[in-house]
């Protein structure tokens, strides 16, 4: 028998199966939208190191954490009156107007009088050709920060999801397969984790330990992996366990471990993958919340960007400093949503009952 031919055929069949799944996924519009979003952010995450390496971006200016740019502007020094209206100003918010600076703000600068022209850095600077999304209050490029943030989001999301789903798949199948006390213990453990409010728990953990991205990924992964997904994976594994092909392996004399790894695990894997995609969403959202509350020891992330705009007092300034809040906020929303939509698309592939003919 021609072995190579055999292997070629096998490869071809596998490729065909992949093609078929891809066709099914493509049918789901939501899934495709999600995929485009995820690819867009992945592109952003990879673009930043490329720009630095090729030297298109100067590290001193564009580095998201230590770089800064000095955009100078010359302003007229004025004095804002105590009473409004005046000839020049209608109300309190009109002073200082565009191109002006209040003399009171310059009390540290020596020898500046009302009526002088004063040269100053504008920070945060609005979007311009050199800084597509402007700079923050320290003169750092927002666009570069968004790119750095998407790197963090991908690392954190994928790492914690892989870890969490790995844990819950193994525990879930073990619970289903062996039953009895192991099952009872694992189920009570899941109940306990489900009952614990996860955000306050994270607050406490971060109060005791300085959390870096890796740490947070492990913590989120373990909490996610011990929680409700164990129960869902277990119910799926229970369905597989009673299938005749498992009985058939048992009659032949297959050991429990062999049956577990070669029959049960591969058949719960699609569900686990689905879980993984959905839990990326959760991880990205949790990171933003924790960073926003200043509980993480991370240099830069989308949550930190919003956090900084808040501590610097720009968050309630409405649309005046929109580039400090909107890009980061939208990035969190879109990437988290994008992964969720990809999950919905995968659901159509793996759940034949939802499939339209």
Which residues make up the interface to another protein (CB under 8 A)?
1-2, 5-7, 9-10, 13, 17, 23, 27, 243-245, 247-254, 258, 263, 266-267, 357
CB 225 within 8 A of CB 168: yes
* Helix locations, the chain, DSSP H: 3-27, 29-54, 59-62, 142-178, 180-195, 198-208, 213-226, 228-241, 244-252, 256-259, 265-292, 302-311, 322-350
Q: How far is the CB of 350 from another protein (least distance, A)?
A: 12
Dmax over CA atoms of the chain, in Å, equals 99
Q: Which is nearer to another protein, 88 or 243 (CB)?
A: 243
- Of 3 and 82, CB closest to another protein: 3
Closer to another protein by Cβ: residue 264 or 336: 264
Q: How far apart (Å, rounded) are the C-alpha atoms in residues 97 and 172?
A: 64
- CA 321, CA 123: separation in Å to the nearest integer? 11
- What distance in Å separates the CA atoms of residue 236 and residue 175, rounded to the nearest whole number? 11
The C-alpha atoms of residue 336 and residue 328 are separated, in whole angstroms, by 12
Q: Considering beta carbons, is residue 27 or 123 the nearer one to another protein?
A: 27
Pairing verdict, β 100-102 and 72-78 = parallel
Give whichever of 219 and 274 is closer to another protein, judged by the CB atom: 274
Closer to another protein by Cβ: residue 238 or 331: 238
User: Shortest approach of another protein to residue 68 CB, angstroms?
Assistant: 55
Q: Which is nearer to another protein, 9 or 65 (CB)?
A: 9
Strand pairing of 100-102 and 117-121? Answer: unpaired
Closest by Cα among 33, 339, 331, 302 to 157: 339
Spatial separation of the C-alpha atoms in residues 118 and 101, rounded to whole Å: 8
Q: Which is nearer to another protein, 263 or 344 (CB)?
A: 263
Q: In angstroms, give the least distance from the CB of 186 to another protein.
A: 23
Q: Which residues of 19-34 are buried (b: 16+ CB within 10 A; e: fewer)?
A: eeeeebbeebeebebb
Round the CA-based radius of gyration of the chain to a whole number and report it. 28
């Amino acid at each position: 028998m021609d072995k190579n031919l055999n292997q070629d055929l096998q490869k071809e069949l596998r490729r065909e199966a992949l093609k078929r799944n891809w066709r099914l996924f493509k049918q789901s519009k939501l899934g495709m939208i999600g995929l485009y979003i995820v690819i867009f952010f992945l592109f952003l995450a990879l673009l930043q190191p490329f720009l630095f390496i090729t030297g298109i971006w100067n590290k001193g200016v564009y580095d998201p954490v230590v770089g800064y740019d000095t955009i100078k502007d010359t302003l007229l020094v004025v004095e804002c009156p105590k009473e409004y209206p005046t000839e020049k100003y209608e109300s309190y918010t009109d002073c200082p107007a565009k191109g002006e600076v209040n003399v009171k703000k310059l009390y540290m600068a020596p020898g500046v009088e009302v009526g002088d022209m004063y040269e100053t850095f504008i920070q945060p600077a609005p979007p311009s050709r050199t800084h597509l999304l402007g700079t923050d209050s320290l003169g750092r490029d927002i666009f570069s920060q968004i790119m750095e943030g998407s790197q963090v989001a991908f690392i954190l999301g994928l790492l914690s999801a892989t870890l969490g789903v790995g844990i819950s798949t193994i525990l879930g199948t073990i619970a289903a397969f062996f039953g009895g006390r192991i099952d009872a213990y694992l189920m009570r453990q899941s109940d306990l984790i489900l009952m614990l409010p996860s955000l306050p728990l994270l607050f406490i953990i971060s109060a005791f330990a300085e959390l870096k991205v890796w740490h947070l990924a492990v913590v989120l992964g373990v909490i996610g992996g011990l929680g409700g997904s164990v129960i869902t994976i277990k119910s799926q594994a229970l369905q597989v366990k009673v299938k005749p092909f498992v009985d058939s392996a048992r009659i032949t004399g297959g050991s429990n471990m062999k049956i577990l790894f070669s029959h049960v695990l591969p058949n719960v894997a699609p569900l686990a993958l689905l879980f993984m995609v959905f839990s990326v969403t959760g991880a990205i959202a949790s990171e933003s919340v924790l960073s926003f509350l200043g509980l993480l020891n991370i240099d830069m992330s989308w949550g930190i960007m919003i956090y900084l705009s808040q501590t610097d007092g720009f968050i309630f300034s409405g649309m005046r400093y929109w580039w400090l809040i909107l890009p980061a906020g939208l990035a969190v929303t879109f990437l988290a949503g994008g992964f969720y939509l990809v999950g919905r698309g995968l659901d159509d592939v793996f759940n034949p009952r939802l499939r339209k003919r």
